[in-house]
């Protein structure tokens, strides 16, 4: 799957969705006009001639319909503009604490973490629908940074770990290919179309108040007439809405199933979950009526309608299983089966290998090809998945536990910034104690003491940013006051030695950007041409070229390799002098480039990869800077294969 092409296609699907919405609104207008005119025909005394075309009524119906539907859709869009957490809240889902000790929830969290690390996206928050016994799940959000994964109680209790991996892998496909934002648009549109019928239903139900008398002494016949008209009027919109929902959703499920199989290399995972949906009496059915508007979000069909063939948002399990396993014998799951929840493997961690920043000491390098840095953006591959599993298994348990603990997670971020030099480390610890507050200071002491007592308590250099990814769901749950004390503390630790290393910049940039997107997940697109961001592109490529080598000819060669990928930028790019390559300038450039189109982001990342790999090798620091660049642009870059 090409991540950038998927984003472009998702944007086109949103455009087609708006066209379908326009047709649906036109159909509702015609239906409303017909109901009113036919009602007038029935109420007209015999012999009276009534015109079927009445412009006044038509334009009145049009104005009222467009206004009502538009406001309803905008209200729902505003409600969901808070990102995945807002969608989860709308169906009363419960957030799973990152430090949950429940075996089923712990297993789910582990699977979600593995896939997030493998795909190079922030670890999503995890939610559970406690009152739903069926097997189902969904992913929601506007960007990869505010995404959530939600499963039903039945999914937790009825699926094996492999099957759970298959379901979560399916949802990660939706996260990576832009389906989530499309789903939010679709929900807003559906609500606008359904709102008319809901208003009619509410008006009719009001007749039941005051012991059968209508409220405020209103004429009951008038209320019945208006309510019935709105209900009939709205039912047309309901039919249109369900048809749009089904048309947009069905084909994507086959693609997501195939992506999950490709990712896990285990067809039995997704197929097994679908067989259990077909075998259990509850299947994938959802009981809460409030989830009906989100039917297209879910892993499998959550609701049944009268005309299933037309209104179902998902293909039948039989078709999906056969697409995965053409040799399937047609038998669904029969006997209940409980998965062993005790699965946990922690291997010995690799020792810490200090990597001095800057040009004062040579950094450990490994061979790399430019295409290897960008080809897998947004990909779901077995190699990345296995690499993530290895990395998670090698993480020291004290640090992994700290990433999931609300008290210790801020302290863990501070620990990632501590120097290996004893004198500087002591100064940083003193600053943390002074500025972070007593709670973080105490947590710092606990984690460091636990690591000192653990003979395998070291942290591999390449595991630092993945560990930050694991801590993000916990950090997102912090209140503003806690974040207000954490971020200045991090700045103090970073500047304790009077300079900023590549890793320190990457960590802070990723943290601030990801947490910022969670608070305001809507991302504007302000730049549609390379010319509009040429200066910022030159800044990024210049910084990468000079960070990779202190040798001026080598920096010039590396910059030229990247600039050669941007021949249509309109003007030649020039390598900036070393004095202009400041981290402050890079920070401003990345913030502006984050508001560019996917095509510009793709070309920038390709050019950046050429700069980094100009000498045929890559250091850990260069890899971290590249991942920070990609994270700022909201492009998932997976872990490199071991």
**Residue 558 domain-assigned (yes or no):** no
Residue 206 confidence (pLDDT) above 80? no
SS3 content of the chain, % helix, strand, coil (to 5): 65, 5, 30
Half-sphere exposure in the Cβ direction for 245 (13 Å, CA): 32
Most confident of 92-96, 280-284, 343-347, 635-639: 92-96
| CB neighbours of residue 509 within 10 Å | 20
Q: Could you tell me whether strands 125-129 and 148-152 are parallel, antiparallel, or unpaired per DSSP bridges?
A: parallel
**Residue 391 domain-assigned (yes or no):** yes
For residue 139, list its beta bridge partners: 149
**Residue 435 domain-assigned (yes or no):** yes
Distance CA 188, CA 226 (A): 25
Distance CA 9, CA 309 (A): 26
| CB neighbours of residue 553 within 10 Å | 8
Distance CA 170, CA 254 (A): 10
The alpha carbon torsion through 199, 205, 207, 210 (nearest 10 deg) reads: -120
Q: pLDDT > 70: what percent of the chain?
A: 75
Most confident of 178-182, 227-231, 541-545: 541-545
Mean pLDDT along residues 280-298: 77
Which pLDDT belongs to residue 531? 85
**With b meaning 16 or more CB within 10 Å and e meaning fewer, what string describes 608-632?**
bbbbbbbbeebbbbbbbbbbbbbbb
**Residue 130 domain-assigned (yes or no):** no
Residue 469 confidence (pLDDT) above 70? yes
Which pLDDT belongs to residue 353? 29
Confidence band, pLDDT 50/70/90 cuts, at residue 239: confident
Catalytic (active-site) positions: 171
- Region of 43 (left: φ > 0; alpha: ψ -120 to 50; beta: rest) is alpha
Q: What is the pLDDT of residues 392-411, one digit of tens each?
A: 888 888 888 888 888 888 88
Task: Report in angstroms the alpha-carbon separations of 230 from 33, 200, 234, 337, 565.
Answer: 11, 5, 6, 48, 58
**Residue 375 domain-assigned (yes or no):** yes
Beta strand spans in 444-596 (E): none
**Residue 50 domain-assigned (yes or no):** no
Query: Which 3 state secondary structure label does DSSP give 148?
Result: strand
Closest to 371 in 3D by CA, of 176, 596, 616: 616
Mean pLDDT along residues 465-487: 82
- Count of domains forming the chain: 1
Distance CA 513, CA 517 (A): 6
- Work out the angle between the directed axes of helices 552-563 and 598-612 (0-180°, nearest 10): 150
**Residue 410 domain-assigned (yes or no):** yes
Which pLDDT belongs to residue 128? 95
Q: Could you tell me whether strands 148-152 and 137-140 are parallel, antiparallel, or unpaired per DSSP bridges?
A: antiparallel
Phi then psi dihedrals of residue 500, to 5 deg:
-120, 120
Confidence band, pLDDT 50/70/90 cuts, at residue 473: confident
- Which structural domain range is residue 402 located in? 365-501
Does pTM top 0.85 for this prediction? no
Half-sphere exposure in the Cβ direction for 418 (13 Å, CA): 25
Most confident of 510-524, 582-596, 616-630: 582-596
Task: Report in angstroms the alpha-carbon separations of 255 from 144, 159, 251, 300.
Answer: 19, 22, 7, 13
**Residue 246 domain-assigned (yes or no):** no
Which pLDDT belongs to residue 363? 52
Q: pLDDT > 90: what percent of the chain?
A: 10
């Amino acid at each position: 799957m090409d991540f950038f092409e998927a984003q472009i296609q998702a944007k086109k699907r949103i455009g087609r969705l708006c066209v379908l919405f326009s047709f649906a609104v036109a159909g509702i207008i015609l239906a409303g006009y017909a109901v009113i005119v036919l009602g007038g025909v029935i109420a007209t005394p015999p012999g009276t001639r009534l015109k079927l075309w009445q412009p006044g009524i038509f334009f009145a119906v049009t104005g009222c319909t467009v206004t009502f539907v538009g406001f309803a859709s905008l209200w729902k869009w505003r409600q969901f503009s808070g990102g995945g957490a807002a969608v989860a809240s709308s169906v009363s889902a419960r957030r799973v604490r990152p430090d949950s000790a429940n075996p089923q929830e712990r297993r789910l969290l582990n699977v979600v973490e593995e896939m997030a690390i493998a795909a190079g996206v922030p670890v999503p928050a995890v939610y559970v629908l406690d009152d739903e016994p069926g097997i189902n799940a969904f992913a929601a959000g506007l960007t990869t940074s505010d995404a959530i994964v939600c499963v039903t109680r039945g999914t937790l209790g009825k699926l094996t770990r492999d099957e759970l991996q298959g379901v979560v892998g399916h949802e990660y496909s939706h996260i990576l290919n832009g389906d989530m934002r499309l789903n939010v648009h679709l929900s807003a549109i559906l609500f606008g179309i359904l709102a008319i019928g809901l208003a009619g239903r509410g008006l009719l139900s009001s007749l039941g108040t005051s012991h059968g008398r209508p409220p405020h002494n209103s004429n009951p016949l008038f209320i019945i007439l208006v309510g019935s008209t709105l209900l009939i009027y709205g039912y047309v919109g309901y039919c249109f809405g369900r048809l749009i929902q089904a048309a947009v959703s069905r084909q994507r499920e086959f693609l997501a199933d195939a992506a999950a199989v490709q990712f896990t290399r285990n067809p039995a995972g997704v197929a097994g979950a679908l067989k259990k949906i077909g075998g259990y009496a509850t299947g994938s059915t959802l009981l809460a009526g409030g989830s009906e508007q989100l039917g297209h979000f879910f892993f499998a069909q959550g609701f049944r309608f009268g005309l299933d063939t037309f209104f179902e948002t998902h293909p039948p399990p039989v078709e999906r299983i056969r697409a995965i396993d053409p040799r399937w014998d047609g038998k669904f799951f029969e006997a209940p089966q409980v998965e062993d929840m005790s699965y946990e493997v922690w291997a010995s961690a690799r020792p810490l290998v200090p990597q001095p920043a800057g040009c004062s000491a040579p950094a450990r390098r490994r061979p790399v090809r430019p295409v290897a840095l960008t080809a897998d953006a947004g990909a779901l591959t077995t190699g990345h998945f296995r690499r993530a599993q290895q990395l998670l298994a090698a993480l020291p348990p004290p640090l992994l536990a700290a990433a999931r603990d609300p008290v210790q997670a801020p302290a863990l971020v501070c620990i990632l910034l501590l120097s290996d030099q004893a004198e500087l480390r002591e100064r940083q610890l003193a600053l943390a104690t002074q500025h972070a507050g007593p709670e973080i200071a105490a947590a710092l002491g606990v984690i460091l003491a636990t690591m000192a007592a653990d003979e395998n308590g070291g942290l591999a250099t390449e595991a630092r940013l993945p560990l930050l990814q694991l801590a993000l769901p916990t950090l997102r749950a912090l209140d503003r006051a806690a974040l207000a004390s954490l971020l200045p503390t991090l700045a103090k630790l970073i500047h304790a030695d009077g300079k900023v290393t590549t890793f320190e910049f990457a960590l802070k940039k990723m943290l601030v950007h990801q947490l910022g997107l969670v608070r305001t997940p809507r991302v504007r697109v302000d730049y549609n041409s390379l010319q509009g961001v040429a200066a910022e592109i030159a800044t990024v490529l210049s910084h990468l070229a000079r960070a990779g080598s202190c040798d001026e000819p080598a920096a010039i060669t590396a910059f030229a390799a990247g600039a050669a990928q941007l021949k249509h930028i309109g003007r030649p790019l020039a390598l900036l002098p070393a004095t202009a390559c400041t981290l402050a300038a890079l920070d401003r450039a990345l913030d502006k480039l984050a508001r560019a189109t996917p095509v510009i982001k793709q070309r920038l990342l390709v050019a950046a990869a050429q700069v980094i790999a100009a000498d045929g090798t890559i250091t850990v620091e260069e890899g971290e800077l590249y991942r920070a660049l990609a994270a700022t642009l909201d492009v998932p870059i997976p872990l490199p294969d071991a």
